[in-house]
Structure 1
Amino acid sequence: MSNKSAQEMAPAEVRALIRSGEWNVNTSGISSGYVQGNIVILPKSWADDFLKFCQMNPKPCPIVGMSDNPGDFMLSSVGDDVDIRTDVPSYKIFRDGKVVDEVTDIRDVWQDDLVTFVLGCSFSFEEALVADGLEIRNVTEKVNVPMYRTNIECRTAGPFSGTTVVSMRPMKPKDAIRAIQICTRFPSVHGAPLHFGDPESIGIKDINQPDFGDAVTIKEGEVPVFWACGVTPQVALEQAKPPLCITHSPGCMLVTDLRNSQLAVL
């Protein structure tokens, strides 16, 4: 492990640690300044419909990169020497819509017809919020961001449909408004929040029991603020039931060589 802090490490250094098995946990707060990506890998016969699903649902599924050709496991679109089979800390393997395994290496299940999608991640806008002086509770408490299934319907494309998953960060109302202003500049990493305030109005029954990630403290005077989340495709995949699909485990992202500043709309 490098003497540098995880925040200071270059993406290539982080990927080397992940590839060697030395890092297999969530990637929140590492490689400051660089884009992290949610991952969806599908057979070519399913990829065109999934691409349409992403295009029709850009807030939860913003595409920042994809493989050049089916079977390509080196992702030149997001960095140098990025091997999608080994460079994500933890993968979920779905067969017929059900998770059958969670692994740190997918070389043994790789097929020559697989297409990889890299979707923008909220960890990029977290950095912009922190730079503006806003606290991000999951970073402060050193846990994975809490994520919830909602009743917000996605637009359907072919076999892909479902409801939006959101990530949540508690804030004072004035900070929530500032967060909206900041995140509007980052449409490629989920953009502005979808909702803040009453969780039940978007179908969340217990804010202290996230469906993915970890619960965080909500202090008196704070409201939960909800962003569209890149775990949303996993809900769509559960319903579409492709014979094989591989995703990242929630919070365990691909650290790319793309800079967050490249995604900002000025």
Structure 2
Amino acid sequence: MSSLPMLPGNPGHQARLAIRTGRYTGPTANLAPGHVQANLAILPRALAEDFLRFCQRNPKPCPLLAVSEPGDPALPTLGVDVDIRTDIPRYRVWRDGELVEEPGQIGAHWRDDLVAFLIGCSFSFEEAMLQNGLPVRHIEQGCNVPMYRTSLMTQPAGRFHGPMVVSMRPMRAADAIRAIEVTSRFPSVHGSPVHLGDPAEIGIADLARPDYGDPVEIRAGEIPVFWACGVTPQSVVAAAKPAFCITHAPGHMLVTDLINARLAV
């Protein structure tokens, strides 16, 4: 991974160009501050209607920002010159529910029947948290956000079903109350937390061993606070086992031209 160069122009576009050319290859938390980031799921057209209904039934973990036309890698509503085949630092390729590859680009896997779903990301509300003086531990520690599969089940649609994934940020109780107030203003990027406190109540056995991302320090007097996470489609893919699917690698998002502040309600 290299640091993102400071270039003139649209920061979202410049971030995508740096990713596309391999100048930036790492997690995207706090990259192009102020810009909306998005999770990714790409499925064959034959499964797209079921997955669209799955997202509609599960808006907390899967808030849809955009859906591509079949076979079209451009997403003009999310930014200029977006190419979903090249503009994410690391992808995951799945076959029959098994992870088989983590490439830096997916042009070799692209097909005319593929539909891309872009899903809101909690990195967007982190900007508002930081502006309100709230701690975001994985940014402080320079690592990926910890994410966990839970016992919270999603609402099924067609063949898609499975457990919700959550992201976690530790904070003191007073900060957690403020975090609920701040993030509830951003329903299109997961909104308010789904749980706080005892992780065992949602099926998490060990906070030091996240299913995705990196563990972070939990300090004395802090409680874990959990938000629904856009990595949920990856747990659903593992459960539903479609013949072919592409997702982002956890923490490696599409940086868009949209502005976080405009998502607030």
Equivalent position of 1:252 in the other structure: 252
Long gaps (5+) in structure 2:
none
One-letter identity of the residue aligned with 2:30: G
Tell me, in whole angstroms, the C-alpha distance in 2 between the residues paired with 1:9 and 1:29.
15
Q: 1:249 to 1:2 in 2, by over 3 A?
A: closer
> Cα 1:184–1:107, aligned 2, differ >3 Å: closer, same or farther?
same
Deviations 1:127-147 (A, max 9, x none): 100000111000000000000
Residue of structure 2 in register with 1:104 after alignment: 104
Figure out how many residues of one structure are paired with residues of the other and give that number. Answer: 262
How far is 1:216 from its partner?
A: 0.4
Name structure 1 gaps, 5 residues minimum.
none
Q: Is the 8 A contact 1:80 1:257 kept in 2?
A: yes
Superposed CA offset, 1:49-89 (max 9, x none):
0000000000000001111x200001112111000000000
Partner of 1:194: 194
Q: What is the match of residue 10 of structure 1? A: 11
Deviation of 1:2 (Å): 5.9
The 1:71/1:10 distance shift into structure 2, 3 A limit, reads: same
SS at structure 1 position matched to 2:41: strand
Change in Cα spacing, 1:176 to 1:4, as seen in structure 2 (3 Å) is: same
The aligned amino acid for 1:125 is F
State, as a whole percentage, how many aligned pairs show the same letter.
Answer: 54
How many Å separate the matches in 2 of 1:213 and 1:9? 28
Code of the residue aligned with 1:4 in structure 2: it is M
Question: Deviation string for 1:82-101 (max 9, x for gaps)?
Answer: 00000000000001111110
CA drift at 1:9: 7.3
Identify the residue that residue 32 of structure 1 maps to in structure 2.
33
> 1:171 & 1:123 partners in 2: Cα distance?
17
Find the counterpart in structure 1 of residue 148 from structure 2.
148
Tell me by how many angstroms 1:3 deviates. 4.5
Work out the CA distance in 2 between the residues paired with 1:263 and 1:53: 22
Q: Deviations over 1:12-56 (max 9, x none)?
A: 111111100111110001111110000000000000000000000
Partner of residue 22, structure 2: 21
Q: Which amino acid aligns with 1:212?
A: Y
- Which residue does 2:51 correspond to in 1? 50
Amino acid across the alignment from 1:184: S
The answer to whether the 8 Å contact 2:10/2:257 transfers is no
Contact 2:86–2:104 (Cα < 8 Å) also in 1:
yes
TM-score in terms of structure 2 length: 0.97
Equivalents in 2 of 1:262, 1:115: separation in Å? 26
2:217 counterpart SS class: coil
**What's the secondary structure of 1:246's corresponding residue?**
strand
Give the AA of the match of 1:61.
Answer: C
Normalized against structure 1, the TM-score is what? 0.96
Matches within 5 A, 1:184-223: 184-223=184-223
Q: Is the 8 A contact 2:4 2:23 kept in 1?
A: no
Q: Which residue identity lines up with residue 48 of structure 1 in the other structure?
A: E
For 2:20, the aligned partner's letter is R
